[in-house]
Amino acid sequence: MASGTGTHVVSRQVFTFGTNHLHPVEGWCLRNYFVEAPAGMNHDEARVWVMDHFGINWAFQYPNRIEAGVDIWKLQLLEVNW
């Protein structure tokens, strides 16, 4: 539980992209974006999820936003809705 809040913070698996990775539907570069697997997925389930949506076109998998450097690198969240 997060201290003093009474809520449980669930970490979600994060995937980042490289300069040669393109949006699978619209074709634009994903280099400054990241996606989060649905809450509750373990490492392997999240990897299957990202492969279903992006194939092999992603760079790295992280256990959370902090490890991925989302704030440091000013990455933008890409909503997966296809």
Q: What's phi and psi for 61, nearest 5 deg?
A: -115, 135
pLDDT mean over 20-44: 96
* Cα–Cα distance for residue pair 75/67, rounded to 1 Å: 12
The domain containing residue 58 runs over which residues? 14-77
User: pTM for the whole thing?
Assistant: 0.87
* Cα–Cα distance for residue pair 16/30, rounded to 1 Å: 8
SS3 19: coil
For the chain, how many structural domains are there in total?
1
Task: Say yes or no to pLDDT of 1 above 50.
Answer: no
pLDDT value of position 8: 58
Q: Is residue 55 part of a domain?
A: yes
* Cα–Cα distance for residue pair 10/17, rounded to 1 Å: 23
Q: pLDDT tens-digit profile of 41-82?
A: 999 999 999 999 999 999 999 999 999 999 999 999 999 998
Q: Is residue 29 part of a domain?
A: yes
Q: Is residue 27 part of a domain?
A: yes
Residue 57 or residue 6, greater confidence: 57
Report the amino acid identity of residue 45. E
Q: Is residue 25 part of a domain?
A: yes
Residue appearing with tokens 């450097």: 69
